[in-house]
Structure 1
Amino acid sequence: MKKTEHFMKFEKVSDEGIISGYITKFGEIDSYGTCTVSGCFKSAMKRLADGETIPVLWQHDVHEPIGKFLSMKDDDAGCYAVIQLDLNVERAREAFSLAKNRIISGLSIGGMINRTEWNEKDQVLMMTDIDLYETSVVTFPACDTARIDDCRSDTLNIREMEHAFRKSGMFSQNDSKKLARYFCEILKSRSEDSETETHETKAEIRSDSHDNDANALNDLLNALKNFQI
């Protein structure tokens, strides 16, 4: 058994600190001359389903955790993961900013190989069972097949909402903060309800989500004109 690292790229990021993409592509030979296969992360998927946290690190540094897995799923191409970065952590904010600005885009898995099979035809060692310890945000990926393709915002952030409430002239600073927090919770709940949708459907929704949220905020402001908090 040995520790392995496999490098991939982010596909999507959002203003809520969520990134998503393939943490590995099945059958693609990595810098160690090995490849992953479908089903190699079954144990990690079960742990995640059972409520265990799979951490996300910065550059494989165990002293710098920056987030956690929200979900992971195999498809025909590879293992697709949705990751939440903890934006209360300074390094996570830095990693998120670098990802949004397309300065850094690598994802790398770290774990223990439990079982392998030798592919004589392709002359490659296939990793069929991996105990996934963590996934890291890294600078230099070894594979160049999965990239960030969407850096749009999923939702308005809480500061934008608070500013809009204050600018309307209808609410105090304290009331604006309360309303902004409340509205963010509604949007977050709506986002979680749609988590079961396919990646393609999510991408289509995200393309218009910021405009839709802005319109919803304007509608809310108009509805509150005749009310006092």
Structure 2
Amino acid sequence: MVPGLEVKFAGGAPILSEGHVIEGYASLFGMTDQGGDAVLPGAFAASLKRLTGKGDKVRMLWQHDPTRPIGVWDEVREDERGLWVKGRLLPDVAQAREAAALIQAGAIDGLSIGYRTIRAERDQKGRRALTEVELWEVSLVTFPMLPEAKVGRKEADELREIAALFIAASEVLRTE
């Protein structure tokens, strides 16, 4: 079971319990995705401010399909790790019920952002550092561009620290 998501079954169909949420990091700062892009801290700030100013929200979609909204993001914010989202799958939407069942079974847990690049810098290897983006949506996806962006992954920063410790330890062992 994914933390923050409760699914109950009635007549064979999953029913989302009201008041329960999904949450996780949709983007992690400084991590290069499979397309060669890394989002830098502050990249979402202006976009989130514009959305709030207009009384608008970041959309929750299924697999980046604009014809398949499945819920609402109640909180979208940058913190020291990345773009954190918290929202609700809507029980009256069939695809949201299916998404809940897939999350519960562990078949899907990816989060992915839909955006337009406003400003970016390119390094010598062709990778882009995104310094400002216009955030449109955060989707539940099967295969996120940033594999570490997942539902219930608040511990992503801790995992990076643990990985760094293992790398450092292996380097020490190689030199001995």
**Structural RMSD (CA):** 2.4
The answer (yes or no) to whether the contact 1:105–1:137 under 8 Å persists in 2 is yes
Q: 1:133 to 1:146 in 2, by over 3 A?
A: closer
- Is 1:13–1:148's contact at 8 Å kept on the other side of the alignment? no
The percentage of counterpart residues that share the same residue type is 35
In the alignment of these two chains, the number of paired residues is: 141
Does structure 2 conserve the Cα–Cα contact (< 8 Å) formed by 1:117 and 1:125? yes
| Contact 2:114 2:135 (8 Å CA) reproduced | yes
Partners of 1:112 and 1:39 lie apart in 2 by 15
Report 1 or 2 for greater relative contact order, CA contacts < 8 Å, sequence distance ≥ 6. Answer: 2
Alignment of 1:1-229 (within 5 A): 12-15=3-6, 16=18, 17-50=20-53, 51-120=55-124, 124-149=127-152
1:45-78 deviations in whole A, cap 9, x for unaligned?
Answer: 2145343122111111111111121112222221
C-alpha deviations, 1:21-63, integer Å up to 9, x for none?
Answer: 0000111111111110111111332145343122111111111
Q: Summarize the Cα distance change of 1:147–1:55 in structure 2 as closer, same or farther, 3 Å threshold.
A: closer
Structure 2: gaps of 5 or more residues? 7-17, 156-176
> Per-residue deviation at 1:123?
5.7
Equivalent residue letter for 1:99 = I
Residue 94 of structure 1 deviates from its aligned partner by 0.7
1:171-216 per-residue CA deviation (whole Å, 9 max, x = no partner) reads xxxxxxxxxxxxxxxxxxxxxxxxxxxx79xxxxxxxxxxxxxxxx
When Rg is computed on C-alpha atoms for both structures, the one with the higher figure is 1
Contact kept? 1:13, 1:99, Cα under 8 Å:
no
Residue-by-residue CA offset, 1:88-136 (whole Å, 9 max, x unaligned): 100011111211221100111111101102345x763101111111111
Distance 1:97 1:34, change over 3 A: same
CA contact under 8 A between 1:119 and 1:125: conserved in structure 2? yes
TM-score of the aligned structures, taking structure 1 as reference length: 0.55
Structure 1 residue runs of 4+, over 6 Å off? Answer: none
TM-score (norm 2): 0.70
Higher strand share: 2
Q: Does the aligned pair in 2 maintain the 1:48–1:71 contact within 8 Å?
A: no
Equivalent pair of 2:63/2:141 in contact (CA under 8 Å): yes
Counting helix residues as a fraction of each chain, which structure ranks higher? 1
Secondary structure in 2 aligned to 1:14? Answer: coil
